[in-house]
A = this chain, B = another copy of it.
């Protein structure tokens, strides 16, 4: 006998995850009601528990799925062959922001989940943090370090340190963009130009330092 309908309807499951992502991103874990997700997903509340067992587990699955989605979407090659660092950063940021505009919920959740990790129910916290540790190693460093290797570093400066600094900048922009998108969902990418300009100022300092050349 052929099961014409699989035990788990993937379409419904996807819908639940999508709506959960939206809700968790905008209200945080504790303020998200399973009721709201069920309504949004046009699915019975019971089904959510059939598929995911508990709200906590739904959260975990949602965060995981969202991270996977972002990773799969991101095309790191976009800025890999930039002529110089500033161009790379500029391209990277533009690309990231464009993704953020295209997938605001995904990005919002990824940041929200990270931010609220410490304030989750005791039992949920370690499981979420496990996701970070699994994910983190693979991603961002890969994007930046190849470019850095092509740059002549001042003696005593490690590529790793620079990479971390750049990462900090990236996160900074992420936070700012999220907030800007939150305040105006229809924002255009041009609106982020001043933000990018500021980061380029930061990069300039990183590149050349802020001390006058003869100050040493």
Contacts and interface: CB of A to CB of B under 8 A. Distances in A.
A119 interface: yes
Given A112-B119, A152-B211, 10 more contacts: A116-B119, A153-B210, A153-B212, A154-B213, A157-B210, A161-B201, A205-B209, A206-B209, A207-B211, A209-B210
A215 interface: yes
A202 interface: yes
28 contacts: A28-B119, A31-B119, A112-B118, A112-B119, A115-B119, A151-B210, A152-B215, A153-B210, A153-B212, A154-B210, A154-B211, A154-B212, A154-B215, A157-B204, A158-B201, A161-B198, A161-B201, A161-B210, A162-B210, A164-B198, A165-B205, A168-B168, A206-B210, A207-B210, A207-B211, A208-B208, A208-B211, A209-B209
Interface in A171-216: 172, 182, 198, 201-202, 204-213, 215-216
A161 B202 contact: yes
A69 interface: no
Chain A interface main SS type? helix
Nearest to A198: B161
